[in-house]
Structure 1
Amino acid sequence: MFSTRFTVFFRKVVLTNKRLFHNTKPRYEERIHPLRRTIKVLTQDIKLAAKPREERAAIISNIFPRHVDIVIIGGAAVGSSIAYFLKHKTGINGLRIAVIEKDATYGKCSTVLSVGGLRQQFSLPENIHMSLFGAEFLRTLKKRFGDDADVYFTPNGYLMLASEHGAQQLLDNAKLQTQLGAVNVVLGKEGLKERFPWMDVTDVEAGCLGLEKEGWFDPWALLHIIKRGAQELGTQYITGEAVGFTFKDREDIVVDGVLEGTYEGLDELTVKLPDGDIKSIKFAYCIIAAGPESGEVAKLAKIGTGPGMLSVPLPVERRKRYVYCFDCQEEGPGLNTPLTIDYTGTYFRRDGLGGCYIGGLSPSPEEEPDTKDLEVDHEYFNERVWPILAKRVPAFNTIKVRSSWGGYYDYNAFDENGIIGPHPYYHNLYLATGFSGHGIQQSPAVGRAIAEHILDGGFQTIDLTRFGFDRLMVHKPMFEVCIV
């Protein structure tokens, strides 16, 4: 065992020393003989392994790496899930992984500002499968992460409403969801009124109610659990911002449409630390999972600004969404109320006890708010959200907004679905972004899928090929139908 580990470290160190700073004079520590460096690394690892988990994670996070096997840009739910599954499949010493996250507090992170919903009510099989795995992941949290792992899941389901115009599509969607393993029931006008007497069903034709594996949870708790799991397996988290890539000529790689001998690959990531210091990390693979900032990060790799395949941009933009918390003065929907989505896209759900609810509505393209900050437009609630809520639930005529918050979506302007998998030009760049509001519930499945593709050579459990970047190049969008 020791000889095998010694050989792996020796090869890694030799390769690292050969490639370090080929255009600059090497520093002292880079001129150390590879054998001495290997012994030093092994000694540090042995000392580190003997320390408690939390202390070990803290020590690792304070050491800026010069080289890693995989660097992940973005440390929220998706990025942390990718790190966790990569380490879970390879073991604590299997891969050296660094996660770059510019906001260690996650104060403006899409993950923690979401409403934490989980549903299988989609029209695309890939999204249904990913959310089914999300439900299974939450069910087995304690088995994976220990008895203290809890995201406070509320299993009240989702209720998707349809008008006469959308009723047939809702029925078709529900049939597909059931075939793939979801548990739901379709209710007509009378069935809805009987089950939910607080609802005005005058203009509603049908509704689909999720009976199992649907509800909502604490997104901050899920992020903390996955991140902690990744760190305990040896993932290093670095507070910093990705500001550039270093490119390297690779004559040994041939790409369709690229003149032989002219291929330029990604070699290093440049990171700006909180103190303004600039450092770089060599990597074998890089994964962009930067949420709303992913489109801008991709530009650093010339995606959208280069020739040929690189002329196609990553269409992920920052979009702002509002969530309003309000009290109902009358007797409103009860504690077992599902997260209800009107056919207009307006939604609401209970938020604890005492007649408190949260809700909102995504703005139309013409109403898209400015994304320079997270300030909330309260007039938007009065003019656009409240009238629909009051129509659907008469008791909501007397609601009063208690508080509100804004959050960012990693909005995929192409088709509002995730972009998952390798980039067609770069042999060592993966994408996991553009989920347009569904990222928190799909993060476990995305993490597993990226880990499979890198380590096993392709998707193994859920085939997400249709969600790859290639669909942008051939202009084949993957639209959801009658789904918000």
Structure 2
Amino acid sequence: MMSKWAHAISFSFRSGSQADSLPIVSRIRAIDPHNSLKNIGGKRSMSVQTHRKCNVVIIGGGAIGSSTAYWLKKRASKDLSVIVLERDPTYKEASTVLSCGGVRQQFSLPENIQLSLFGGEFIQNAKKYLGDVDLCFQPNGYLVLASEKSAEVLQQNYKLQKELGACNELLTADKLKQKFPWLNVEDIALGCHGLDKEGWFDPWALLGGFRNRAKEYGADFLQGEVLDFHIPDGSKKINSVRVRAKTKEICTVDFDICVLTAGAHSGEIARKANIGNGPGALSTALPIEPRKRYVYVFTTQGENAPGPNTPQTHDLDGTYFRRDGKGSNYIAGRGPDEEAEPPVNNLDVDHEFFDTNVWPTLAKRCTAFESIKVCGSWAGFYEYNTFDANGIVGPHTYYNNLYIGTGFSGHGIQQSPAVGRVLSELILDGGYKTLDISRLGFDRIAANRPMFESNIY
């Protein structure tokens, strides 16, 4: 039986024709028996060709968008034309490349655990998927600490993680001290340490791997800033998008299906399609906004400093740290309190925030951090989901040819391999095949069904 999503997709082609009952690749062949669509998009830049056509347009070329292009073209290389629109191909302010590149399965929601389990497998075996790419994966795991008050929640999370296939260990305060002698455990009751598919990697390399592989399979990556969409009156289908190219020309891309993966700017772009501005089902906004986060680089000359195999350690208040590179540098950070979110009109770093909110926790947890020297810093944007701080993945509830993959609130880079894969399944197969993450769909926003994480930073 064809799923309701496959039925919705069929309307983006020839509604009412025999092709409607076929998978998307077969429908394209039925509509275009001579396969003339395969070269739509070509290799020319938008500044040369001001009107383009494709089967799938992906708005946002970061990790999620590039992963989606990769999976779509990997599975339907000759039968599906894909254009990825990215407003800044240097990615200098992109959430992907400014992230810390962590991967872990220590979540409390089954969907996040499963998404990151595949992310960890993909990252550990990147060459199998992406060819000659080195993600510099450091398999040192995560260490999530809990007090007496939060220990029971950590135990529950650990049990679920194990049931779903994660390889973690629970450590009492005494065992933590034995394994990590530098750790002050006076106020710690329990810790969960990841033993497999956890650690960190080079996010630039992952993004480059997705992009290069997707291009090899035939995807086009074009520079352009979204201006607006064309939506016929009363239609539940978006026909095209207008973009401003690098040359300042206004270009139009016609498409059958649109995938919105624009990271921190997804909410803004959704409003250009009347999402959140219209009546009925269009009255529900896509609740994504940029949130600025700081990362600090420091060194220490203190004795008993955490060694090279130190896991990324998350403290009770959300402060985290880990070793960085092969030298003696560390990185650290922490999210601000909700009422103290910094402005997002720039990527300036607040160094006072480190002194007042990060360093005290570091110094308490490890005596070697009582005397440290900050030697670098950067800031990046979370694509923050203000509804429940978890990803929004799947079809839109009004537009039957719009799919969403955004709002991961700091977890996007590690979940990008799995999210791109499930989005390709929705488009090509009409439903989830490898992971059912339907609970993370856009419909939960309108229905007020938040999916909160517990005891997770």
Root mean square deviation, CA, Å? 2.1
8 Å CA contact retained: 1:318, 1:371 = yes
Cα deviation, 1:187-223, whole Å, max 9, x if unaligned, reads: 0110111111101110111000001110000000000
Cα deviation, 1:106-158, whole Å, max 9, x if unaligned, reads: 11110000000000000000000001101121233212222x21100000000
Could you tell me which residue of structure 1 aligns to residue 274 of structure 2?
302
Matches of 1:40 and 1:388 in 2, distance apart? 61
Aligned partner of residue 211 in structure 2, secondary structure: helix
Q: 1:215 aligns with which of 172, 195, 199?
A: 199
- Counterpart of 2:301 in structure 1: which amino acid? Q
Could you tell me which residue of structure 1 aligns to residue 81 of structure 2?
96
1:362, CA displacement in angstroms?
0.4
Matches of 1:384 and 1:163 in 2, distance apart? 19
- Counterpart of 2:98 in structure 1: which amino acid? L
Kindly indicate whether residue 96 of structure 2 is the aligned counterpart of residue 111 of structure 1. Answer: yes
Matches of 1:223 and 1:72 in 2, distance apart? 15
1:66, CA displacement in angstroms?
1.8
Matches of 1:87 and 1:394 in 2, distance apart? 51
In structure 2, list runs of 5 or more residues that go unmatched.
Answer: 1-12, 15-32
Residues 170 and 239 of structure 1: is their aligned pair in 2 closer, same or farther, counting only changes over 3 Å?
A: same
1:89, CA displacement in angstroms?
1.1
Q: 1:169 aligns with which of 143, 148, 153?
A: 153
Matches of 1:82 and 1:144 in 2, distance apart? 14
Q: 1:80 aligns with which of 66, 76, 83?
A: 66
Could you tell me which residue of structure 1 aligns to residue 309 of structure 2?
336
Alignment of 1:84-483 (within 5 A): 84-91=70-77, 93-146=78-131, 148-249=132-233, 262-331=234-303, 332-483=305-456
Could you tell me which residue of structure 1 aligns to residue 18 of structure 2?
none
Matches of 2:254 and 2:428 in 1, distance apart? 19
1:339, CA displacement in angstroms?
0.4
8 Å CA contact retained: 1:325, 1:404 = yes
8 Å CA contact retained: 2:236, 2:398 = no
Matches of 2:226 and 2:241 in 1, distance apart? 7
8 Å CA contact retained: 1:110, 1:408 = yes
In structure 1, list runs of 5 or more residues that go unmatched.
Answer: 1-13, 16-37, 49-55, 250-261
Residues 139 and 117 of structure 1: is their aligned pair in 2 closer, same or farther, counting only changes over 3 Å?
A: same
1:274, CA displacement in angstroms?
1.6
Residues 272 and 412 of structure 1: is their aligned pair in 2 closer, same or farther, counting only changes over 3 Å?
A: same
- Could you tell which deviates more after superposition, 268-277 or 150-159? 268-277
Aligned partner of residue 208 in structure 2, secondary structure: helix
Kindly indicate whether residue 65 of structure 2 is the aligned counterpart of residue 69 of structure 1. Answer: no
User: Which TM-score applies when normalising by structure 1?
Assistant: 0.85
1:264, CA displacement in angstroms?
4.6
- Counterpart of 1:369 in structure 2: which amino acid? P
Matches of 1:153 and 1:392 in 2, distance apart? 26
8 Å CA contact retained: 2:45, 2:222 = no
Matches of 2:276 and 2:180 in 1, distance apart? 49
User: Which TM-score applies when normalising by structure 2?
Assistant: 0.90
Residues 236 and 457 of structure 1: is their aligned pair in 2 closer, same or farther, counting only changes over 3 Å?
A: same
* Greater C-alpha radius of gyration: 1
1:279, CA displacement in angstroms?
1.0
Matches of 2:118 and 2:327 in 1, distance apart? 33
Matches of 1:39 and 1:469 in 2, distance apart? 36
8 Å CA contact retained: 1:153, 1:216 = yes
Cα deviation, 1:432-455, whole Å, max 9, x if unaligned, reads: 000000000000100000000111
Cα deviation, 1:209-256, whole Å, max 9, x if unaligned, reads: 00111000000000000110000000000101111001114xxxxxxx
8 Å CA contact retained: 2:267, 2:288 = yes
Could you tell me which residue of structure 2 aligns to residue 23 of structure 1?
none
Identity among equivalent positions (%) equals 52
Cα deviation, 1:453-479, whole Å, max 9, x if unaligned, reads: 111111111101000001011100000
1:185, CA displacement in angstroms?
0.5
Structure showing greater relative contact order (alpha-carbon pairs closer than 8 Å, 6 or more residues apart): 2
1:425, CA displacement in angstroms?
0.3
1:63, CA displacement in angstroms?
5.9
